[in-house]
Amino acid sequence: MDFREIKEFFRDFLGYIIILVVIIIIFVFIISLQPVAGNSMHPTLKEGNLVVVSKLFYNLGSPKRNDIVNVKDDLGKSYVKRIIGLPGERIEYLENVLYINEKPYSEDFITPEIDTKNFLFEDICSLEKCPGGVIPKNKYLVLGDNRSESVDSRTPEFGLRDKSDIQGKVALKIWPFSEFGRIK
């Protein structure tokens, strides 16, 4: 057997190993793929859509209002939701109007047929858990865009989410290909 063939084989093999390691690093630390289950984010995202989640996004900055994120519940199940309330804010919903610190806030992504049932901040978080009646430090209020079909921060079992529960920001819709593009 020729030693040059063995050397060439190992060089090629090492190249494939390096490519595999780079791909693994990308999917463990930088991005992930998340299928959308259910219609809680309709019409922005629909059941069966596949999105790319940027895991690095919040290592470099803080979550912002209206970011669509991949968030985990207490059982480790992943959801795609929109950040509505930030730490230090008081959130309420009355007559289909979002109030942040008692001031109305327009939600351009909500379609007219979506009805958000009224809720007060106290319905989401008691004064014992949320002193001062505001979202505590490192906690976020997340809602689905299709409020009538969403398990989100209004649901007692889900509640406000810790920053550590936010796995990343949804950056791209990649499936179906006809809808490929940035998420707004």
55 catalytic? Reply is no
* Marked catalytic residue, from 54, 81, 139, 169: 81
| 182, amino acid identity | R
| Cis ω before 43 (30° cut-off from 0) | yes
Dist. CA 174–CA 111, nearest whole Å: 23
* Marked catalytic residue, from 7, 32, 40, 178: 40
Dist. CA 60–CA 163, nearest whole Å: 13
| Cis ω before 176 (30° cut-off from 0) | yes
Name the DSSP class of 30.
I
Strand partners, 82: 68, 143
Give the number of other CB atoms < 10 A from CB of residue 155.
Answer: 11
Q: Which of 150, 171, 52, 18 is nearest to 93 (CA)?
A: 150
40 catalytic? Reply is yes
**Residues labelled catalytic:** 40, 81
